[in-house]
């Protein structure tokens, strides 16, 4: 049986690169944004004024993704800032994924600008994996105009880790035999999915590098940090049994995020924003006559640290209340009390087939909620989104359906996931 070969392919500074490519296509005289200090940034008036993507010259000024634009301007007064363009990102992502599907037997989009490709057994067709990765990288550059990093390994986790090594326009490997030299000497903060609070917990145990964790007693790690600590121990040892899953075009994810105009410091306020996001996400799911089986929550605190957690439901659903209560459980597991700047509710594994695990104690609850949600959708469609809202949003300044695109476009555009 052939050894697994997994590519993780990640677009370099995707939003900025895609904007630069468009400008060059429209006018050959356009300055390539990638060659000057530049950044993609949101609206500062709505507190979305953060760096979403940056050029390499901007990075040379110490500008970081996620920092406020006002800080970026202080570091580089001549910084060129361009607004985000969601339509451009969707079309560029589709072109990227379609090119990968021409060469990879299995392609799993992981986000709008990255994908896993299972290249196992393709050596006879394309030659040695590393050589083909270089050719594929160059093909993407010549045909689509932007550069990518490609990480290669025998599993998804190590491939993704490898693609995060030196950028841009690089190919890196990280096979298990290479871990002692390439992986274990890195600081524990470089381990994917090890957030700020997790890093502090590791440091309290005397774990400073990924190698320290890899050589620690797994039972000790689990006793102090629970299941998540055990999973990170697996990753530190290069263990990952997940497979590349091919999603059909209809198998989308639905999600929205909300950057909040003030720092949220209490649970009740945070849960109202989660409810608002759940309302929008579930309405989009129902509008597509879809059902989902995975829910996740993301948090960005006021120091721009990101964290997220997800769970798989026993049944598919498109019910607002089910998505909301699942998101609340995740939020309680995830939030460490830090002031919150941004919240997100996301779903995945969408399908047009509904299946449900029978509830012995509340067999009619899901059906009633589904009918209620459908009635609410009908009223909002006919009389407007604000014609019906939950009591907690009455006389409130908070939007009862928040996140994502504007109201007129929420049901018409999806990011391929």
C-alpha distances (whole Å) from 400 to each of 110, 275, 369, 389, 390 are: 29, 8, 18, 7, 7
Alpha-carbon torsion, ordered 229, 235, 239, 242, to 10 deg: 90
Whole-model pTM above 0.75?
no
Smallest CA-to-CA distance from 318 within 270, 363, 360, 366 is with 366
Instruction: Give the pLDDT score at 301.
Output: 85
Min mean pLDDT across 6-15, 269-278, 358-367 is at: 358-367
Q: What is the mean pLDDT of residues 31-52?
A: 79
The CATH H-level (homologous superfamily) assignment of domain 1-172 is Reverse transcriptase/Diguanylate cyclase domain (3.30.70.270)
Q: Which residue has the tokens 């006793």?
A: 223
Instruction: Give the pLDDT score at 358.
Output: 45
Phi, then psi, of 281 in degrees rounded to 5: -65, -45
Mean pLDDT score across all residues of the chain: 85
Q: Of these residues, 108, 114, 279, 385, which one is catalytic?
A: 114
Quote the CA–CA distance of 112 and 83 in Å, as a whole number.
Answer: 18
What is the CATH T-level fold of the domain 254-409, as seen in this structure?
Dna Ligase; domain 1 (3.30.1490)
pLDDT above 90 covers a percentage of the chain that reads 50
Residues 259, 47 contacting (CB under 8 angstroms): yes
Phi, then psi, of 208 in degrees rounded to 5: -110, -25
Q: Is 47 helix (H, G, I), strand (E, B) or coil?
A: coil
Instruction: DSSP letter for 401, please.
Output: S
Q: What is the mean pLDDT of residues 341-368?
A: 69
Check pLDDT > 60 for residue 335.
yes
Check pLDDT > 80 for residue 397.
no
Q: What is the pLDDT of residues 89-139, one digit of tens each?
A: 889 999 999 999 999 999 988 888 999 999 999 998 999 999 999 999 999
- Identify the sign of the CA torsion 404, 408, 409, 410: positive
Q: What is the pLDDT of residues 52-71, one digit of tens each?
A: 889 999 999 999 887 888 88
Q: What is the mean pLDDT of residues 304-324?
A: 86
Q: What is the pLDDT of residues 260-292, one digit of tens each?
A: 878 899 999 999 999 999 999 998 888 888 888
Domain boundaries, the chain: 1-172, 184-236, 254-409
DSSP class per residue in 86-114: HHHHHHHHHHHHHHHHTT-SEEEEEETTE
Q: What is the mean pLDDT of residues 196-208?
A: 89
Q: Which residue has the tokens 């809202």?
A: 389
Instruction: Give the pLDDT score at 84.
Output: 86
Task: Compare 314 and 286 and report the one with higher pLDDT.
Answer: 286
Check pLDDT > 80 for residue 163.
yes
Q: What is the mean pLDDT of residues 368-394?
A: 79
Residues 248, 333 contacting (CB under 8 angstroms): no
Instruction: Give the pLDDT score at 371.
Output: 82
How many other CB atoms are found less than 10 A from the CB of residue 9?
Answer: 28
Task: Compare 410 and 164 and report the one with higher pLDDT.
Answer: 164
Determine the number of helices (DSSP H) and then strands (DSSP E) in the chain. Answer: 14, 12
Check pLDDT > 70 for residue 247.
no
Binning pLDDT at 50, 70 and 90, where does residue 190 land? very high
Active-site residue, 114 included:
yes
Identify the architecture of domain 184-236 in CATH: Orthogonal Bundle (1.10)
Q: What is the pLDDT of residues 139-155, one digit of tens each?
A: 999 999 999 999 999 99
Instruction: Give the pLDDT score at 383.
Output: 80
């Amino acid at each position: 049986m052939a050894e697994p070969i997994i590519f993780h392919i990640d677009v370099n500074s995707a939003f900025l690169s895609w904007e630069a490519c468009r400008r060059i296509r429209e006018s050959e005289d356009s300055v390539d944004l990638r060659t000057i200090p530049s950044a993609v940034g949101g609206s500062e008036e709505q507190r979305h004024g953060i760096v979403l993507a940056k050029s390499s010259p901007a990075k040379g000024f110490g500008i970081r993704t996620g920092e406020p634009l006002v800080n970026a301007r202080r570091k580089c007064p001549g910084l060129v800032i361009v607004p985000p363009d969601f339509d451009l990102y969707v079309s560029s992502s589709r072109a990227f994924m379609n090119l990968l599907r021409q060469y990879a037997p299995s392609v799993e989009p992981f986000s709008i600008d990255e994908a896993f490709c299972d290249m196992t057994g393709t050596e006879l067709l394309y030659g040695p994996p590393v050589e083909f990765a270089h050719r594929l990288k160059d093909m993407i550059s010549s045909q689509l105009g932007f550069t990518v990093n490609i990480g290669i390994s025998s599993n998804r986790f190590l491939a993704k880790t490898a693609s995060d090594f030196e950028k841009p326009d690089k190919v890196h490997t990280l096979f298990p035999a290479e871990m002692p030299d390439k992986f274990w000497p890195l600081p524990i903060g470089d381990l994917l999915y090890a957030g700020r609070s997790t890093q502090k917990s590791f440091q309290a145990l005397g774990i400073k590098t990924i190698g320290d964790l890899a050589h620690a007693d797994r039972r000790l790690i689990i006793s102090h940090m629970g299941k998540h600590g055990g999973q990170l121990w697996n990753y530190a040892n290069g263990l990952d049994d997940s497979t590349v899953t091919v999603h059909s075009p209809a198998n989308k994810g639905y999600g929205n995020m909300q950057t909040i105009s003030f720092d949220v410091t209490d649970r009740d306020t945070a849960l109202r924003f989660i409810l608002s996001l759940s309302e929008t996400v579930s309405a989009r799911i129902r509008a597509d006559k879809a059902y989902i089986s995975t829910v996740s929550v993301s948090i960005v605190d006021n120091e721009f640290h990101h964290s997220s957690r997800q769970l798989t439901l026993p049944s598919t659903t498109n019910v607002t209340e089910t998505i909301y209560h699942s998101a609340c459980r995740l939020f309680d597991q995830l939030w460490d009390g830090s002031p919150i700047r941004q919240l997100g509710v996301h779903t995945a594994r969408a399908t047009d087939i509904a299946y449900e695990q029978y509830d012995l104690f509340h067999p009619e609850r899901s059906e009633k909620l589904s009918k209620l949600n459908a009635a609410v959708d009908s009223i909002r469609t006919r009389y407007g989104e604000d014609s019906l809202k939950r009591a907690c949003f009455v006389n409130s300044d908070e939007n009862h359906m928040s996140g994502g695109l504007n109201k007129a476009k929420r049901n018409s555009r999806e990011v391929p996931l």
